[in-house]
Structures are given as structure tokens and as C-alpha cells.
């Protein structure tokens, strides 16, 4: 009888201890995000830096040996002059306005000393709006639009009291190159030389 009472007491003790032991916490699983809820992290837009235009010196734009080969063995470099003073022999109204406000411009002059034989080269950085205005006025003035490689050219030949004239305007990106000379073969070659020098100095101008 004592053994039965002991078993009953032990069972009661176990039950009491079990009643005092706290139950483990119930873990609620986190909901799995759906595909629509997962938003990819946006990648930053890369910043494109455009280098400012660099215009080489006149001797690089047109080496003297090239000028002598194109024009005359007696050709000399006569120096730089303000690009804003260029008007050209075939006047275009907006030329002086554009050159007066150009972000960067250079004027170069070659010729035979103590003679009327000379030609001029001008290189300038311009805006898209200025380019459109110049091209419209060149067309109105009778210039013929042609393609010279990868650039747009406007050319016009004529005569004046001294002799024949030839003017070539090249446009590439936001750069304007113009040569006012004695023939289109001269002005075309001079602007082409300047374009090559500009592309070497400004890789972004390469076709």
C-alpha cells in the first residue's frame, strides 16, 4: 500500500513540474516576398564628360610646307588675327555675329609677302543653333552643299577685282572650319588639313 502511495506522489510531482515549465514560443515564419515585391536596386546613370574643344596652333592646323605646296613656294605664314575680324569675300550676315560670341576661335593667315596673294583659315566652336543659322544663310547665298568624307561642306567659287576666289565651310559636331582662298581646290585642302589636326587634338571628333 505504501508503494502505491509513493507512485501516486511521484506522478503528482511530475505533473506539477510539467505544469510549471513554460511552453516554447511559437515561431511564425516570415512571408516569402513575391517577385513583384522585390525591387532591384537602380544603377546610377553614368556621367558623360565632354572635353572642351582644343584648337591647335596655326602651324599645326596647316604646316607651312603644306601651304607652300598648295599655294606657292613663296608662301609665308603671316600670323594670327582675331577670328572676329573675318568676314570672308562672300559675305554671310551671321558670320561676324557668330565669331564674336564663339566659345573658342582662331584665325590664321598665309600668303606671299608684299602681294595680294593670300588666304585665311578660321576655326571656331559653335552651338547647334549657330550652325543651323550659318548653313541656312550659306545656302541662301548660293553655296553648294556637299559631303566631304564624314563632314558637311558648303562651297562657293567666284571672282573679284584681284582674281578667282574659292571658299569652303566645313561643319562637324559643334565645330566650324572655313577657308577663304583663291580656289576651291585650295580652300578644300586647307580645311581638310585643319580638320585632320582638330581630330588629332580632339578624339571625340573622329568619325
Per-residue pLDDT reduced to its tens digit, 115-135:
989 999 999 999 999 999 999
* pLDDT value of position 90: 61
Q: Kind of pairing, strands 104-111 and 118-125?
A: antiparallel
Measured between alpha carbons, how far is 72 from 193 in angstroms, rounded to an integer?
Answer: 17
Selected residue with higher pLDDT from 70 and 52: 70
Distances (CA, A) of 95 to 13, 115, 173: 109, 26, 18
pLDDT per position as a tens digit, 15-27:
444 444 555 555 5
CB 135 within 8 A of CB 144: no
Domains and CATH numbers, the chain: 58-205 (3.40.1000.70)
Instruction: For the chain, give the number of residues.
Output: 207
Amino acid at each position: 500500500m505504501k508503494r502505491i502511495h509513493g507512485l501516486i506522489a511521484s506522478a503528482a510531482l511530475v505533473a506539477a513540474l510539467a505544469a510549471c515549465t513554460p511552453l516554447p514560443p511559437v515561431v511564425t515564419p516570415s512571408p516569402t516576398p513575391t517577385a513583384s515585391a522585390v525591387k532591384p536596386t537602380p544603377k546610377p546613370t553614368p556621367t558623360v564628360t565632354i572635353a572642351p574643344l582644343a584648337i591647335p596652333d596655326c602651324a599645326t592646323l596647316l604646316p607651312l610646307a603644306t601651304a607652300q605646296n598648295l599655294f606657292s613656294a613663296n608662301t609665308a605664314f603671316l600670323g594670327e588675327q582675331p577670328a572676329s575680324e573675318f568676314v570672308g569675300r562672300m559675305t554671310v550676315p551671321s558670320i561676324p555675329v557668330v565669331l564674336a560670341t564663339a566659345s573658342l576661335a582662331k584665325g590664321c593667315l598665309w600668303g606671299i609677302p608684299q602681294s595680294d596673294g593670300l588666304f585665311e583659315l578660321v576655326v571656331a566652336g559653335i552651338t547647334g543653333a549657330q550652325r543651323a543659322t550659318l548653313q541656312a544663310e550659306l545656302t541662301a547665298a548660293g553655296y553648294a552643299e556637299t559631303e566631304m568624307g564624314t563632314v558637311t561642306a558648303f562651297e562657293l567659287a567666284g571672282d573679284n577685282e584681284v582674281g578667282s576666289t574659292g571658299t569652303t565651310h566645313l561643319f562637324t559636331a559643334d565645330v566650324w572650319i572655313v577657308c577663304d582662298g583663291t580656289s576651291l581646290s585650295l580652300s578644300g585642302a586647307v580645311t581638310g588639313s585643319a580638320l585632320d589636326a582638330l581630330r588629332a587634338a580632339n578624339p571625340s571628333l573622329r568619325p
